[in-house]
Chain A
Amino acid sequence: MSEAITPSDFPVAESGLRPPASVVTETGWVRVLLIAVAIAFLALFLVLPLVTVFVQAFAKGLDAYLAAFKEPDAHAAIKLTLITAAIAVPFNVVFGVAAAWAIAKFQFWGRDLLVTLIDLPFSVSPVVSGLIYVLVFGSQGLIGPWLIEHDIQIIFAVPGIVLATIFVTFPFVARQLIPLMQEQGTVEEEAALTLGASGWHAFRTVTLPNIRWGLLYAVLLCNARAMGEFGAVSVVSGHIRGLTNTLPLHVEILYNEYNFVASFAVASLLAGLALVTLVIKSLLEWRYADDIAAGARRH
Chain B
Amino acid sequence: MAVSSPRPRRRFRQPSVIPGFGLTLGYTLTVLSLVVLLPLAALVARASGLGFSGIWGVATDPRVFSALRVSFGVSLLAALTASLFGSIVAWVLTRYDFPGRRVIDAVVDLPFALPTAVAGIALASLYAPNGLVGEQLAKVGIEAAYTPVGIFIAMVFIGLPFAVRTVQPLIAEIDKEVEEASAILGSTRLGTLTKVVLPPLIPAVLTGFALAFARGVGEYGSIIFIAGNLPYVSEIAPLLIVIKLSEFDYAGACAIATIMLAISFAVLLLINLIQAWSRRRFGYV
Q: Can you offer 8 A-B residue contacts whose CB atoms are under 8 A?
A: A27-B189, A34-B92, A107-B13, A126-B221, A190-B18, A248-B117, A274-B118, A297-B168
B265 part of interface (Cβ distance < 8 Å)? yes
User: Between A and B, how many residue pairs show CB distances below 8 Å?
Assistant: 294
In the complex, A291 has a CB within 8 A of chain B: no
Binds B, one of A5-13, A35-43, A67-75, A208-216: A35-43
Query: If A34-B96, A49-B126 touch, does A127 touch B242 (CB 8 Å cutoff)?
Result: yes
Cα A108 to Cα B11 in complex, Å, equals: 8
Give CA–CA (A44, B248) in the complex, Å: 40
Question: CB of B52 within 8 A of chain A?
Answer: no
Cβ of A38 to closest chain B Cβ, rounded Å: 4
> When the two chains form their complex, are residues A278 and B179 in contact, meaning their CB atoms are under 8 A apart?
no
How long is the Cα–Cα vector from A225 to B153 in the complex, in angstroms? 21
Q: Which residues of B contact A299 (CB under 8 A)?
A: 102, 105
Q: How far is the CA of A251 from the CA of B122 in the complex (A)?
A: 11
- Note all chain B residues with C-beta closer than 8 A to A38: 85, 88-89, 92-93, 104
B13 touches A274 (CB 8 A): no
Chain A residues with Cβ under 8 A from B253's Cβ?
A: 131
Residues of B within 8 A of A228 (CB): 113-118
A235 lies within 8 A of B28 (CB): no
- In whole Å, how far is A95's beta carbon from the nearest beta carbon of chain B? 5
Q: Does residue B230 face the partner (Cβ distance < 8 Å to A)?
A: no
Cβ contacts A134-145/B at 8 Å (1 or 0 each): 111010111000
User: A131, B241: Cβ atoms under 8 Å?
Assistant: yes
User: Which residues of the other chain, B, contact A42 by a CB distance below 8 angstroms?
Assistant: 89, 104, 107-108
Whose C-beta in chain A lies nearest to the C-beta of B10? Answer: A109
For the complex, what is the distance from the CA of A38 to the CA of B98, rounded to whole Å? 12
Number of interface residues of B (CB under 8 A): 97
Within 8 Å of chain B (Cβ to Cβ): is A230? yes
Type the 1/0 row for A230-256, where 1 means its CB is closer than 8 Å to any CB of B. Answer: 110011000000000001110110010
Instruction: Report the Cα distance A109→B25, complex, angstroms.
Output: 12
Binary per-residue interface labels of chain A (65-108) against chain B in the complex, 1 for a CB within 8 Å, 0 otherwise: 00000000000000000000000000000010011011101111
| Cβ–Cβ contact A50 & B110, under 8 A | yes
Contact of A286 among B24, B102, B111, B261 (CB under 8 A): B102
Interface residues in A151-173 by Cβ distance below 8 A to B read 163, 166-167, 170
CA distance A52 to B93 in the complex (A): 25
Least CB distance, B270 to chain A, in whole angstroms: 12
With a cutoff of 8 Å between Cβ atoms, the chain B residues found around residue A277 in the complex are 113
Is the CB–CB distance between A39 and B118 below 8 Å? no
Cβ of B17: which chain A residues have Cβ within 8 Å of it? Answer: 190, 193
Given contacts A228-B115, A267-B121, contact A126 B238 (CB under 8 A): yes
Give the residues from 28 to 65 in chain A that come closer than 8 angstroms, CB to CB, to chain B: 31, 34-35, 37-39, 41-42, 44-50, 52-53, 56
Q: Which residue of A lies closest to B20 (CB)?
A: A199
CA distance A135 to B220 in the complex (A): 19
Whether the pair B42, A142 counts as a contact (CB closer than 8 A) is: yes
B184 at the interface (CB under 8 A from A): yes
